Homo-oligomer: A and B are copies of this chain.
Amino acid sequence: MTQTFRVWAPWPKKVELQIGEVRMPMKVNADDWWTTEVSSAKAESDYGFVLDGKGPFPDPRSPWQPHGIDGASRLLDHKTFRWTDGNWQAPPLSSAIIYELHVGTFTPQGTFDAAIEKLDHLINLGVTHIELMPVNEFSGSRGWGYDGVDLFAPHHAYGGPAGLKRLVNACHARHLAVILDVVYNHLGPAGNYLEKFAPYFSRRYSSPWGEALNFDGAESHEVRRFFCDNALMWLRDYHFDGLRLDAVHAIFDSSAIPFLEQLAIEVKQMETQLNRPLVLIPESDLNDPRLLWEPGRGGFGLSAQWSDDFHHALHALLTGEKNGYYADFGTLADLGKALRHAYVYDGCYSAYRRRPHGRPPTGLNGNHFLGYLQNHDQVGNRARGERSGRLMSVGRLKIGATLVLTSPFIPLLFQGEEWGATTPFLYFTDHQDPKLGEMVRQGRRREFAGHGWDEHEVPDPQARETFQQSKLNWSEPSQSAHAELLEWHRCLIALRRSEPSLRDGCLDRIQTRHDETEGWLVVERGPFVIAGNLSDSPRRVPLPPGGHRLLMSSISMNNPENGSAVLPPDSVALYKKA
């Protein structure tokens, strides 16, 4: 088989291909792309690029790193996989129930194939989309994935390219859509050889996690091609239904046509080409509707963004936590505003940020936002990785689940949330460089020492045990306490999926009432009314005019009478208007 090897490398004066034991010269064109043809390359040959006599280094676009970030790249032919999802179409995002999943901890084995065995659990739950935390190659065999480097290579420890394709194919066979989390704002500290090839990084800006990427300087069109081609590859060659874009606020770019807008345009074109819907879901802490507005409105045209304000309002209210960014939240009024306007901070002053924050999301609706009680960050960025189930009563978990799953936003659950998993989701790494490992270990301790933690209380991210502890315990969902919560989630999801009015995203149809002193909240959403009592005493809660039928309650309750209901402490009830 004749194979063309190509690499963009303006910086070295000489580039050679190392394939097996053979080193071959490469020719450069005017655009600084080096190429060579190998007439007898085996289908899965190992290779790398030698730059000015140094290396070989992995291909920046390596499709497979079977030996990890520092090993050889391996050729891959996407045509050999036998897909069986011929007429697949993902359901629209407006009717999605998204389930965030970390391949390494979702199952005991921590592989793509093992995840397939748990898909029926998700189907039974009612999930429509799974969202995989980043799967591209990162340091060692354990990690969250946000410090990845080989953006085109599914992690070898998860099962590599073929394993990932089997997982996506199996999802589609079960009518589950699959979204992939990708990190386009920085690269990890280990195994990052990009800078040896070309100006992938920028000195104009500083990112909190490493060098900022070059999206607007000289040669940035090739850097953009790298990232756009990466996005298109996942959608085309791995059949993903969309991408979650990590922390786009750390993508610095002052171009007239920003990278994110270009990406959205190219994904739209791919959607037409593949003839199935594709979505782009940014994570952003800017509270800036520009991400979601259409280009004609001056926006980037992305599909929907993670809604941290809703999370923070809900979490701070249910836990009473006030540290860090939760200082900006905690009242029923905040939660009500989040439900009605998505952004709590839409231009008003944030005490945590010490400046006004955000902008009104004019023209957007609830389906432009994802709503969640927890996610990998909100759990894992705690010193001890406690999930919501460790931080609040079952009653409050049910209140949270009800508000998320009846919200105007696209609900997202974090793996195990549905049964109140007791296992933590800790921060874990597997850096092979001992110095870097120690830096990460100390960095983590220092971070939490500042918040009053003793260093022995902060799990060592480099320890295998920290990773093992973070794996879900699949004996839990069938235990009675967990089964009840699982059923609560299942019922709410079933209700949402059967009721179009819960999926219309209409923010202006939502009304909220609350009493901060008494601690109750009533949310009216079209024909549905959700009433919650967050106090430690029973509360009489006024309902909107008209009759109401009790659909679900977190503990046994009667139908309301005389326009009000009495709710026990820490309870929630869901009504339908008569």
Interface residues of A (CB under 8 A from B): 203-206, 216-221, 249, 252, 254-257, 286-290, 293, 296-299, 347, 349, 353-359
On chain B, the residues within 8 Å of A287 by CB distance are 256
Q: Chain B's nearest CB lies how many Å from the CB of A301?
A: 11
The residue in chain B whose Cβ has the minimal distance to the Cβ of A290 is: B298
CA–CA, A205 to B293, complex, Å?
26
- Partner of A288 from the list B256, B286, B288 (CB cut-off 8 Å) is B256
On chain B, the residues within 8 Å of A357 by CB distance are 256
- Partner of A206 from the list B203, B299, B347 (CB cut-off 8 Å) is B203
| Oligomeric state, in copies | 2
B254→A286 contact, CB < 8 A? yes
- Partner of A218 from the list B299, B354, B359 (CB cut-off 8 Å) is B354
- Partner of A297 from the list B203, B288, B297, B358 (CB cut-off 8 Å) is B297
The residue in chain B whose Cβ has the minimal distance to the Cβ of A286 is: B256
Q: Chain B's nearest CB lies how many Å from the CB of A440?
A: 23
Q: Chain B's nearest CB lies how many Å from the CB of A332?
A: 25
On chain B, the residues within 8 Å of A353 by CB distance are 218
Which 5 pairs of residues, A with B, have the shortest CB-CB distance? A298-B298, A256-B359, A256-B288, A218-B354, A220-B355
The 9 listed contacts between A and B (C-beta, < 8 Å) are: A204-B206, A205-B205, A216-B355, A219-B355, A221-B356, A256-B287, A256-B347, A256-B359, A257-B347
CA–CA, A289 to B203, complex, Å?
26
On chain B, the residues within 8 Å of A290 by CB distance are 256, 298
- Extra A-B contacts (9), CB below 8 Å, given A255-B286, A298-B298, A298-B299: A203-B206, A204-B206, A205-B205, A205-B206, A221-B356, A255-B288, A256-B290, A256-B347, A256-B359
CA–CA, A256 to B350, complex, Å?
14
On chain B, the residues within 8 Å of A206 by CB distance are 203-205
On chain B, the residues within 8 Å of A296 by CB distance are 297
The residue in chain B whose Cβ has the minimal distance to the Cβ of A288 is: B256
A359→B203 contact, CB < 8 A? no
A355→B205 contact, CB < 8 A? no
A256→B289 contact, CB < 8 A? yes
On chain B, the residues within 8 Å of A355 by CB distance are 216-221
- Partner of A354 from the list B219, B249, B255, B288 (CB cut-off 8 Å) is B219
Q: Chain B's nearest CB lies how many Å from the CB of A283?
A: 15
The residue in chain B whose Cβ has the minimal distance to the Cβ of A362 is: B296
CA–CA, A353 to B221, complex, Å?
11
Q: Chain B's nearest CB lies how many Å from the CB of A133?
A: 25
B286→A293 contact, CB < 8 A? no
CA–CA, A359 to B298, complex, Å?
12
CA–CA, A293 to B293, complex, Å?
15
CA–CA, A28 to B40, complex, Å?
78
A359→B204 contact, CB < 8 A? no
On chain B, the residues within 8 Å of A354 by CB distance are 218-219
Q: Chain B's nearest CB lies how many Å from the CB of A309?
A: 12
On chain B, the residues within 8 Å of A204 by CB distance are 205-206
Identify which of A203, A216, A296, A356 gathers the most chain B CB atoms within 10 Å of its CB.
A356
